[in-house]
Amino acid sequence: MEFTLNTIRKVDNDQAREFAFGDDKSLKEKLAIVILNPEDIKQLNVKPGSIVKIYNDTGFVNVKIIQDKKVPLKMAMMPVSIWSNQLTRVINNDLVYKNIEIKIEADDEPILDYKSILQKIKEGS
Amino acid sequence: MKRVPCSGCSLLCDDIIVRSDGIFIDEVIGACIKGKEHFDQVIAKNRITNPTFRADHTLKKIDWNQAYIKAIELIKKAKKPLLYGFSTASCEAQLKGIQLAEKINGHIDSNSSICQGKIIEKSKSVGLTLTTIGEVINKVDLIILWGANPAESIPRLLNKALFSRGKFRMTGREIKTLIIIDPVQSASFGVMGVRDLSLLIEPNKDIDLIRVLKEECCATDSIPSEGVAGIDKDDLKRLLLHLTGAEYGVIVVGQGLLKPTGDSDTLQEFLELIEMINSRQKKGRISLIMMGGHYNMAGFDHVALANYGQSGSLNFINNQLEETETNTIDKMNNEDFDLSIIVGTDPISHLPANLSSKLMKHPIIVIDNKKSATGDVADLFLPSAITGIECGGLSYRLDHIPIELQKIIDSPNNIPSDEVILSEILKRLTDGGP
């Protein structure tokens, strides 16, 4: 299904806090998420807490679904993080971190942990 | 008990009470969740208190003398160093950073260039009407949050702007109207009252709304009947009446408006709209507050402009400032650098993965007071004291008012400040040795 992705900053999903006070596990738990409208979650045939694959022509990432009825239909929100930045891009030397076209589908592959995603970035894949 | 400014975010709240014996902070009163966490950073379990250097793929502890030697070695090998960050450093440290860039023929920029710096850049041709938090408290009767969610990014901004009573606003919240323009019902919508206006705009349609407002701002009887950008005619009319009728309106500009929008120049047209309203307003005006999150994002623009005549993207060649259109994103994207010196920020977490990948291909020196993804992949990590807690310094609040930050306690392990670290590197380079 096609969605529009917006990266956001949330008090409860703050990477600086997880780096300071948390660990690799809490970093993944708090930041490797996508927030969707419950109606869209139904349409995707998945449940809150399921893992989905999000992709576009920039990259892909697997994250956990969180539901929030305040999120507009067909919009996906992800906290700014090393996970969401697999999908953000540079166009005309400007960072594009909002209103990004993406596709979401159910997936069984696990969410990459912090060290693996750092390695993925290092390898440039 | 001591009253200190908080460097947890760009609001720099100067009404925080701290109880401390000069060694430990025992109590913090009046800070928001972000401020409290900022003070907790002092004893954060993941805090790094020793310099580390990457050898055999792992970061190993070294002493400060070795750390400076390694820094000089890396810098001397580089021909095109890139210096980036500086939004969570004092103005003194920012100046040292620019002087270092000058010395080593580097390119230096702050986080502002991808945030509020975009408005400052546009304002050079259109102009900019700013205001201060003091004026907002005393005079404001209209607050518009445009693509901004201060409830989560600058938690006490609405306390001060919306829920305060000021000299000419003694009735406080009752006389203030809040309008939120956002595609998402963010946490800030939670403070809305019955007479406030919630405008859930369609994503990426800000430019359409701005253009209609520009066309119609003095003719409320010719609003398009079908509305615009998902906002119906009645709400559009109310927005127009508020914009043109407010005695003292303030628009808080957030990332939602700063985002790039392809071919259209949203920021340019937005600033033109403000100028248009203000030139036609007889009794009031609309001003802006730029909601940069880092506590001294505005400072870098001031320091660079005051000392070098340019607010950002300073490129030095032959120790001279060179005029360039190139910004940090160009530099990273085109891999036009061979060393990065990152101060107080985490580009590996914040930037698109393809840029992070390019950053990681070249040596990285990080100066920061906290752990980060960039610190984890750095070749050299120099831990620094937390400005506003473990060292003092000047900082510019989000409304461009200078606030002097204070030292409350000593840093653990006598970690030096960003300013001291940058000064020492500069001194050793000037002296010619490592």
Reported as a single tens digit per residue, the pLDDT across A74-99 is: 999 999 999 999 999 988 878 888 88
Helix (H) or strand (E) holding B375: helix B373-377
Cβ-contact B151, B190 below 8 angstroms? yes
pLDDT of residue A56: 94
Query: Residue-wise pLDDT tens for chain B (434 aa)?
Result: 899 999 999 999 999 999 999 889 999 999 999 999 999 999 999 999 999 999 888 889 999 999 999 999 999 999 999 999 999 999 999 999 999 999 999 999 998 888 888 888 888 888 889 999 999 999 999 999 999 999 999 999 999 999 999 888 888 888 899 999 999 888 999 999 888 999 999 888 888 899 888 887 656 566 777 778 888 888 888 898 898 889 999 999 998 888 766 666 888 899 999 998 888 887 889 999 998 889 999 999 999 999 999 888 899 999 999 988 888 899 999 999 999 999 999 999 999 999 999 999 999 999 999 999 999 999 999 999 999 999 999 999 999 999 999 999 999 999 999 999 999 999 999 887 65
pLDDT of residue B232: 87
Interface probe for B, chosen from A28, A73, A91, A99 (most Cβ of B below 10 Å), is A99
Distance, in Å, from the CA atom of B80 to the CA atom of B326, rounded to the nearest integer, reads 13
pLDDT of residue B262: 65
Tokens of residue A36, six digits: 């969707």
Distance, in Å, from the CA atom of A118 to the CA atom of B348, rounded to the nearest integer, reads 9
Cβ-contact B288, B250 below 8 angstroms? yes
Domains of chain B: 2-115+295-431 (3.40.50.740), 117-290 (3.40.228.10)
Mean model confidence pLDDT for chain A: 92
pLDDT of residue A28: 94
- Contacts of B144 by beta carbon, 8 Å cutoff, 6+ apart: B178, B179, B180, B181, B242, B243, B249, B250, B251, B252
Tell me which fold the domain A2-123 belongs to. Answer: Barwin-like endoglucanases (2.40.40)
Q: Is B331 helix (H, G, I), strand (E, B) or coil?
A: helix
B183 contacts on A by Cβ (under 8 Å): 6, 72, 75
pLDDT of residue B221: 62
pLDDT of residue B125: 86
- Contacts of B167 by beta carbon, 8 Å cutoff, 6+ apart: B138, B139
Q: Are A90 and B346 within 8 A, CB to CB?
A: no
pLDDT of residue B353: 94
C-alpha pair distances (Å), A121 with each of A88, A102, B230: 13, 19, 38
Phi, psi (degrees; rounded to nearest 5) at B314: -95, 125
Residues found in chain A: 125
Dump pLDDT digits (tens) for A13-40: 888 888 889 999 999 999 999 999 999 9
Q: Are B203 and A6 within 8 A, CB to CB?
A: yes
CB under 8 Å, gap of 24 or more: what pairs does A115-123 form? Answer: A115/A24, A117/A61, A117/A82, A117/A83, A117/A86, A118/A82, A118/B348, A118/B373, A118/B376, A118/B377, A120/A86, A120/B353, A121/A82, A121/B348, A121/B353, A121/B356, A121/B357, A121/B360, A122/B357, A122/B360, A122/B377, A123/B357
| Bridging pattern class, strands B393-396 and A60-67 | unpaired
Give the residue from B361, B430, B391, B420 showing the smallest Cα distance to B51: B420
Helices (H) and strands (E) in chain B, counts: 17, 19
Q: Are A80 and B349 within 8 A, CB to CB?
A: yes
Interface probe for A, chosen from B116, B334, B350 (most Cβ of A below 10 Å), is B350
Q: Are A124 and B354 within 8 A, CB to CB?
A: yes
Q: Say which DSSP state B369 is in.
A: S
Q: Which of A70, A94, A121 sits opposite B356 (nearest CB)?
A: A121
Domain positions in chain A: 2-123
Q: Are A71 and B355 within 8 A, CB to CB?
A: no
| Bridging pattern class, strands B364-368 and B380-383 | parallel
Single-letter code of the amino acid located at B74: L
